[in-house]
């Protein structure tokens, strides 16, 4: 309530920080930025616990069942909406800069996408840095995808999705699978994907929920000495031809927007099918604010339609 009252007073004096922001959205965005700015990345377990507090505020959509699982030796959880098409699977990779985050912190978002797509979602608990630096996350993603195929799930009925680092991981998985000559999934939805770990990301004007110093610290922890231009860490530097259809979404005021737009342009230049959507006024992974944001709900609905059309 204190955050809401302070934001309301600020808006009365100065107006909304961004024209598209409602009172509830601005309050949530400011609280999210404050929490991200205080993450103790020098102590990864503590940072994960701090981030998990944000995830605890999420609410699972009605009618969605959560089933813990291990797939390809990797912990995960199934999110199964009532009436979901059992043959269609969305493999979801959570965000968190490869350092924080878990299926629990992305549960509401992954479940909303599953509902919109009329599919089951498998949210992957891939290993995190600094304990497990690059390419551990890519190895886990690959193990999960291969295990799904071995279980009889057709690649043509699999969609990849992920937010932030999870979006970059989904794209890295596509690059590794293509290089190995393996069957690719039907499509991928990349939500504000982090695809260039070499990008210093100029500091924003205090609007986005992803501070510059947080991005840079996470990149160092994940890379563990690897080149930031290694394509499986920064997929924007990879060969982007021959990928399945991509839906790429970015927030209009997020600091990753330039690299996301660069990714979409490179995919299009390579002859790929890519749809780039930039949501005016929205912050990094605004989808997580679906409870208070009609723009987030609309973006998730478009992801669901995209998956239905291709998988």
The helix-helix angle for 294-310 and 107-117 (nearest 10°) equals 50
The values of phi and psi at residue 28, to 5°, are: -65, -40
Query: What is the structure's pLDDT at 33?
Result: 78
Q: Is 164 a catalytic residue?
A: yes
Query: What is the structure's pLDDT at 204?
Result: 66
Q: What is the pLDDT along the chain (311 residues), one digit of tens a residue?
A: 448 888 778 888 888 888 888 888 888 888 877 778 888 899 999 999 988 887 777 789 999 999 999 999 999 999 999 999 989 999 999 999 999 999 999 999 999 999 999 999 999 999 999 999 999 999 999 999 999 999 999 999 999 999 999 999 999 999 999 999 999 999 999 999 999 999 988 766 667 778 888 899 999 999 999 999 999 999 999 999 999 999 999 999 999 999 999 999 999 999 999 999 999 999 999 999 999 999 999 999 999 999 999 99
DSSP 243: P
> Which ranges in 20-135 belong to alpha helices (H)?
23-37, 44-55, 107-117
Q: Which two tokens stand for residue 136?
A: 């551990």
Query: What is the structure's pLDDT at 221?
Result: 97
Q: What's the rounded Cα separation, in Å, for the pair 72 and 76?
A: 10
What the chain holds in terms of domains, given with CATH numbers, is 2-310 (3.40.50.1820)
CA distance readout (Å), 201 to 11, 188, 257:
28, 24, 9
Q: Which two tokens stand for residue 114?
A: 């599953």
Q: Which residues sit opposite 158 in a β-bridge? A: 89
Query: What is the structure's pLDDT at 1?
Result: 43
Q: Is 284 a catalytic residue?
A: yes
Query: What is the structure's pLDDT at 92?
Result: 98
Q: What's the rounded Cα separation, in Å, for the pair 86 and 65?
A: 13
Q: Which of 26, 77, 108, 164 is catalytic?
A: 164
DSSP 155: G
Q: Which of 26, 77, 108, 254 is catalytic?
A: 254
CB 189 within 8 A of CB 247: yes
Q: What's the rounded Cα separation, in Å, for the pair 187 and 173?
A: 12
Q: What's the rounded Cα separation, in Å, for the pair 142 and 92?
A: 13
Q: Which of 284, 287, 293, 310 is catalytic?
A: 284
HSE-up of residue 142 (Cα within 13 Å, Cβ side): 17
């Amino acid at each position: 309530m204190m955050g809401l009252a302070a934001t309301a007073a600020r808006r009365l004096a100065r107006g909304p920080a961004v024209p598209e922001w409602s009172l509830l959205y601005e309050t949530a965005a400011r609280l999210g930025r404050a929490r991200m700015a205080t993450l103790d990345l020098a102590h990864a377990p503590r940072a994960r616990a701090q981030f998990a507090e944000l995830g605890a505020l999420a609410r699972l959509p009605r009618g969605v069942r959560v089933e813990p699982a291990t797939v390809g030796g990797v912990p995960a959880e199934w999110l199964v909406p009532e009436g979901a098409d059992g043959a269609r699977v969305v493999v979801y990779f959570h965000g968190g800069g490869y350092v924080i985050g878990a299926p629990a912190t992305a549960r509401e978002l992954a479940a909303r996408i599953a509902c919109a797509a009329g599919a089951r979602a498998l949210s992957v608990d891939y290993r995190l840095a600094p304990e497990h630096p690059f390419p551990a996350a890519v190895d886990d993603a690959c193990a999960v995808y291969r295990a799904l195929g071995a279980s009889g799930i057709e690649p043509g009925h699999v969609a990849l999705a992920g937010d932030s680092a999870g979006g970059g991981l989904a794209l890295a998985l596509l690059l590794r699978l293509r290089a190995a000559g393996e069957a690719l999934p039907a499509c991928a939805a990349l939500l504000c994907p982090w695809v260039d770990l070499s990008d210093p990301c100029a500091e924003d004007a205090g609007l986005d929920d992803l501070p510059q110093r947080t991005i840079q610290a996470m990149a160092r922890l994940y890379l563990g000495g690897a080149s930031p231009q290694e394509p499986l860490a920064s997929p924007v530097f990879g060969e982007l031809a021959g990928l399945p259809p991509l839906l790429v979404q970015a927030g209009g005021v997020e600091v990753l927007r330039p690299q996301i737009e660069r990714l979409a342009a490179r995919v299009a230049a390579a002859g790929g099918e890519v749809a780039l959507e930039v949501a005016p006024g929205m912050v990094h992974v605004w989808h997580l604010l679906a409870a208070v944001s009609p723009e987030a709900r609309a973006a998730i609905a478009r992801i669901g339609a995209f998956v239905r059309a291709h998988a």
